[in-house]
Chains A and B, each alone.
Chain A
């Protein structure tokens, strides 16, 4: 792995690895000169507005668009049946999730709507406002059907089956058992059970989903401008369902106003927009408004999970058991499916701990609500909240400190490699080092003393701890093995141009995480050039290698390794040419400060720009047979471990007002271990942003449906998100356990913050309410939930 000179490619002089260099793409965003999809305008562009069902479940009896077609500016009004001539339906299943079933979903509903917000007609006009005017004139007659909204009764015989062809409302069930569970519970000195309830919430990207599809009938080519996390996935599916070759579809992804997993799926209205462009032979733009975002962006985390833990009096955890139920809406989402979240919960429960006795059941049911699917930290917040909630309850039951029970049960830092109770393999984690570090950062004993002193004054502060694991760098085990055409490998092409500048094309994408920055840092470090010389191109299927994109905390670990390997090849190629020009040996040369230098004393030999000038303009001066190759491409996919697990711990310090039920967050700490840290500032900001998303789920965020399946808070005034006033400062620390699977050694960091935040908050609230004997296992922890638990309302 190491270089001939003994230095790793990452430890070279002037390396950017481990440095907090600013991202190169910030200036345009700060000046308001970014390019988001909704900023784009093409000649003859039509705007589409979708007329959406007001019913959660209804037959469509008729659609009369006669009056609407006469409205000013209207280009076309298209129903589901008409659009089905252009685009085929899909079924969101994966073969490795055995038994997962779903029904065919159309771009626009045909005959029947299955959730409030499903599109029933597309209105295309010369402006969005005129399309909205015309939409009001479309007369749709519905026959309302009974809506299945309660997941706890979705499987009852008396409940209507949403898709009769499927036989029942069960989309997926997984049962898992390891070790001797019954015996372990029998041998426990105490067994604690609780039901954990999670509010259905959503991503609320500040930029709504937006698509601009441009079918050029002359070229027979469809260009789709879309803020997607996975351009090649969109290319594949748009081609498949429109009956095109992949080469006929180009995906261009410019600036993206937030994604968080919301923009990694294929939505029916997006498919409809592609199809409308083909049908109407002109560019069509769809920009969701905020009400549509709440009603159609995927929701997540609508789980009720019964949990059980066995513990001995010495603090040893003997077993975990869960029974998880989740409602996913009427369809399994395409193409990643809506069974992954429950599957992840089963995989991750008990993950930080040594106990190997584990039983799990997860059931995924259909409902007449908006679809649920993967959102940042898929399944992790559920698994972490259940596991860490149970661990605290067990500690409380046997009367030991929450830190102590973790010390006694967390997997030892020298026990790796080993496996989770569910069988997933851990290469190298650092639970104890992380716990020690966070206790030091927060002054645990000091806070406990403060807590005790304030209780005497009727001020109730609580301290919550949550250890967690995070799935990152997923291999083909995530989707590829199940038949989804979602690449798990990424590619990077690096070339030196005629002025000595470096151009780097990567298949990972940028939504603000810093993909562009970390790619430039790696390439510049390996090559020995300054970062300003490196230009990164991403988000264009015509102009980047084929790859997965940016999701599941994979960009740095997988795309970063591909960049490293490509840059190494280019470096060697440059040194080969330099050795010819300088009549030296490649091993005697190196690159530093944008020049070829002596490996021995660092003396400059030839500027890269001069070398490039010779290669491109005076190749005649090179000896015969020398053909320089100043472009290199490499791809990478993890093969040894299906996932590179990371770990960490979060701690929360808060105050509960027992009269009002309000919770004030005072401070939050995170220690995480993502292996090699390419850019400390970017990692810390991923953690902080992720934590705040988790804090939103813990305290505020919930999609509130009524019993008829109506979403009652589909706007930003009623659906509460974290704002700056309520959020605490967050201290972030690190432990570094590199993955040996790559030369880079980096694991992901995008979801760690979200994974454990809610668990830390809930444990802190229960810690604060300890004197009242109140235990809460439900989020969001609204004042109503708190006061109810205190018996005050």
Chain B
């Protein structure tokens, strides 16, 4: 159990080689080995959604996945999505609508929202609420987040 395992994966487009303990989860790997601390750890049992990242294009809870399971995978974190500009419009909508207060849920929330916007062209408010219902936010009461996602969806749809 304490022996190290070599892993090789891509994180935010960069090749990463590392030696990790088999029990190390992906969230701790990103935070502690790669110092990508935008992936937050809120509950460590897959409920709060703060650690949401993208693995091979799908959003996953990085606290429920082991780093060794990410062998050969492409992992994208909030830092990667921010730097690529992929969610710049969504982030601008969050800023305009004050859709974050303490900001601890925000990276996971943006990940989940972008996932919805990639798969559905014009989700209504109920669909947005449903898709984000695995991401806990204690500060906002969610309405501002729903507003920001809704306005981004509409703006992306506009010709």
Is chain B found bound to chain A in the same assembly? yes
Any A CB within 8 A of the CB of B123: no
Interface membership of B114, Cβ < 8 A: no
Most chain A CB atoms below 10 A, which of B48, B91, B102, B125? B102
The reply to whether A206 and B50 form a contact with Cβ atoms under 8 Å apart is yes
- Which stretch from A32-40, A318-326, A438-446, A494-502 is at the chain B interface? A32-40
A586 adjacent to chain B (CB < 8 Å) = no
* A284 to B112 alpha-carbon distance, docked (Å): 34
Q: Once the chains are docked, how many angstroms separate the CA of A641 from the CA of B132?
A: 44
Contact with B along A688-717 (1 / 0, CB 8 A): 111111000000000000000000000111
Of residues 36 through 85 on chain B, the ones whose CB sits less than 8 Å from some CB of chain A are: 36-45, 47-48, 50, 77-79, 82
Beta-carbon contact of A32 and B107 below 8 Å: yes
Residue contact A723 to B141, C-beta cutoff 8 Å? no
From A27, A31, A692, B141 is in contact (CB under 8 Å) with A692
User: Size of chain B's interface in residues, with CB distance under 8 A?
Assistant: 56
Rounded to whole angstroms, the CA-CA distance of A693 and B136 in the bound complex is 12
B78–A31 CB distance below 8 A = yes
Are B141 and A727 interface neighbours, CB within 8 A?
yes
In residues 84-135 of chain B, which contact A (Cβ within 8 Å)? 91, 94-98, 100-107, 110, 125, 128-130, 132-135
Give the residue name and chain of the A residue nearest to B91 (CB).
A30
Looking at chain A, what size class is its interface with the partner chain? 35 or more
Chain B hits for A257, CB < 8 A? 40, 42, 102-104
From B36, B102, B136, contact of A512 by CB (8 A): B102
CB contacts (< 8 Å) of A33 on chain B: these are 38, 79, 82
Indicate whether B143 reaches chain A with its CB closer than 8 angstroms: yes
Taking a contact as CB atoms under 8 Å apart, the answer to whether A206 and B96 are in contact is no
B98 and A23 within 8 A (CB): yes
**Would A258 and B141 be within 8 Å (CB), given that A32-B39, A33-B38 are in contact?**
no
B32 to chain A, nearest CB (A): 8
Chain B: minimal CB distance from A288 (Å) = 11
CA distance A716 to B48 in the complex (A): 7
Return the contact of B144 from the options A35, A513, A688 (Cβ within 8 A): A688
Judge if A6 is at the interface, Cβ distance under 8 Å. Answer: no
B102 and A290 contact, CB distance less than 8 A: no
Give complex CA distance A38, B36 in Å. Answer: 12
Complex: chain B residue closest to A681, CB-CB: B98
Complex contact A685–B44 (CB within 8 A): no
A39 surroundings in chain B (CB, below 8 A)? 31, 37
Interface of A is mostly: loop
Most buried by A among B24, B43, B77, B144: B43
Cα of A73 to Cα of B142 in the assembled complex, Å: 42
Given the contacts A129-B23, A723-B136, A724-B132, A32 and B43 also touching, CB distance less than 8 Å: no
Check A715–B45 contact: CB distance below 8 A.
Answer: yes
Q: For chain A residues 671-689, which have a beta carbon within 8 Å of chain B?
A: 681-682, 685, 688-689
**Is B137's beta carbon under 8 Å from chain A?**
yes
Please tell me if the beta carbons of B36 and A32 are within 8 angstroms of each other in the complex.
yes
In the bound complex, how far is the Cα of B46 from the Cα of A280, in angstroms?
Answer: 35
Q: Is the CB of A689 within 8 A of B136?
A: no
CB distance from B31 to the nearest CB of A (A): 8
A205 at the interface (CB under 8 A from B): yes
Collect the chain B residues with CB atoms within 8 Å of residue A753's CB. 141
A665 to B36, CA, bound (A): 38
- Report A653 CB to chain B, min CB distance, Å: 16
- What residues of A have a CB within 8 angstroms of the CB of B129 in the complex? 724-725, 727
Q: Is B11 an interface residue (CB 8 A)?
A: no
- Does A721 belong to the interface (CB within 8 Å)? yes
Are A688 and B143 in contact, with the CB atoms below 8 A? yes
A255 touches B102 (CB 8 A): yes
Q: Report Cα–Cα, A208/B130, bound state, in Å.
A: 25
Q: Is the interface of B mostly helix, strand, loop or mixed?
A: loop
Cβ A716 vs Cβ B45 within 8 A: yes
Contact, CB under 8 Å: A32 / B38: yes
Expressed in whole angstroms, the minimum distance between the Cβ of A341 and any Cβ of chain B is 20
The answer to whether B139 has its CB under 8 Å from any CB of chain A is yes
List residues of chain A with CB within 8 A of the CB of B145.
Answer: 724
Q: A256-B102, A724-B132 are in contact. Are A729 and B138 (CB under 8 A)?
A: no
Cβ contacts under 8 Å, B24 to chain A: 129
Residues in B with CB closer than 8 Å to A689 are 101, 138-141
Q: Which residues of B contact A685 (CB under 8 A)?
A: 98, 101, 140-141, 144
The proximity string for A residues 12-33 relative to B, scoring 1 for CB distances below 8 Å and 0 otherwise, is: 0000000010110011011111
A207 at the interface (CB under 8 A from B): yes
Smallest Cβ-Cβ distance to A687: which chain B residue? B141
Query: Contact between B44 and A512 (Cβ–Cβ < 8 Å)?
Result: no
Contact among B2, B40, B82, B135 for A31, CB-based, below 8 A: B82
Q: Is B26 an interface residue (CB 8 A)?
A: no
Any chain A CB within 8 A of the CB of B153? no
Please determine whether A26 and B104 come into contact, CB atoms closer than 8 angstroms.
no
Report which of B21, B79, B101, B138 forms a contact with A721, defined as CB distance below 8 A: B138
* Residue numbers in A under 8 Å from B41 (CB-CB): 38
Select one of A22, A31, A204, A688 contacting B138, CB under 8 A. A204
Assuming A38-B41, A730-B143, is B102 touching A511 (CB within 8 A)?
Answer: yes
Say how far B105's CB is from chain A's closest CB, in angstroms. 5
Interface string of A499-541 (1 = CB under 8 A from B): 0000000000001111000000000000000000000000000
Asked if B9 is at the interface (CB within 8 A of a chain A CB), the reply is no
Pairs A–B under 8 Å by Cβ, sample size 20:
A30-B91, A30-B107, A32-B107, A33-B82, A39-B37, A72-B2, A205-B102, A207-B40, A207-B102, A258-B102, A258-B139, A290-B42, A512-B100, A685-B144, A690-B141, A717-B45, A717-B47, A722-B142, A723-B136, A727-B143
Chain A interfacial positions (CB closer than 8 Å to B): 20, 22-23, 26-27, 29-36, 38-39, 72, 129, 203-208, 255-260, 289-290, 511-514, 681-682, 685, 688-693, 715-717, 721-727, 729-730, 753
Q: A692-B140, A724-B128 are in contact. List 7 more A-B contacts (CB 8 A).
A: A22-B96, A30-B100, A206-B137, A512-B100, A512-B102, A685-B98, A689-B138
